[in-house]
Amino acid sequence: MIVEDSPLTQRAPAKGRILETASVLFYEDGIRNVGVDRIIAASSVTKATFYKHYRAKDNLIIEYISGQHRAVRANLESLIEASPTPEAALRAFVSAVAAEVGAPGFRGCAFINAAAEFPDPNHPVRVIVSDHREWYVETLADLLRKLGHPVPGDAADELLLARDGAFSGGYAGDSIAAIAAMSRVASRVIADARAAA
């Protein structure tokens, strides 16, 4: 799970505590399983403070999932900027996924988890998840385009689905096998780009 750090310092301390606490609880136990009273108690704020900042749990949920998107985006963009080539960036992307899957407390993908809890495709949470996935595919497709892949959009879809599989398989099953499978997909996609160049 990725929890934003820097924006919390810009919020009121209580508001930041509420969001940070909710982010951990939502990821660990599920969004719908965590009630407002539990968030209030765990973040050491009053009910009045909670409702002053968020008015309703739905507003906190939206801020949580939006914050997850901003954090993932910042991390991937930083990884790409630090990589000397598009291929190096793609390999670093696979390594970053492997590190996340192997991290203590890993409980799958926050976006897939959220989508499973909000089945209505028009719900604001699902809209954010959809926008996040579109951004992810576009970002990977841009790297693949720069690498010379003949069908960068399709290849980006494969990489994102391989990442989804690694996250799901890594949480529910064998994390080593899940990452190995994702690595094979990434290697094949990169080889396809090299062959076309």
Per-residue pLDDT tens digits of the chain, which is 197 residues long: 444 444 443 456 999 999 999 999 999 999 999 999 999 999 999 999 999 999 999 999 999 999 999 999 999 999 999 999 999 999 999 999 999 999 999 999 999 999 999 999 999 999 999 999 999 999 999 999 999 999 999 999 999 999 999 999 999 989 999 999 999 999 999 999 989 87
Predicted local confidence at residue 8, as pLDDT: 41
Residue 197: the pLDDT is 72
CA-to-CA dists, residue 192 to 80, 119, 154, angstroms: 20, 36, 12
Task: Give the burial class of 149: count Cβ atoms within 10 A of its Cβ; 0-12 exposed, 13-18 middle, 19 or more buried.
Answer: buried
Find the angle CA(2)-CA(72)-CA(86) to the nearest 5 degrees: 135
The three-point CA angle 139-137-180 to 5° equals 100
**How much is the pLDDT for 12?**
62
Domains in the chain (CATH in brackets) are: 1-58 (1.10.10.60), 83-196 (1.10.357.10)
Question: DSSP string covering 113-176, please?
Answer: HHHHH---TTSHHHHHHHHHHHHHHHHHHHHHHHHT-SSHHHHHHHHHHHHHHHHHHHHHS-HH
Phi, psi dihedral angles at 107 (to 5 degrees): -135, 35
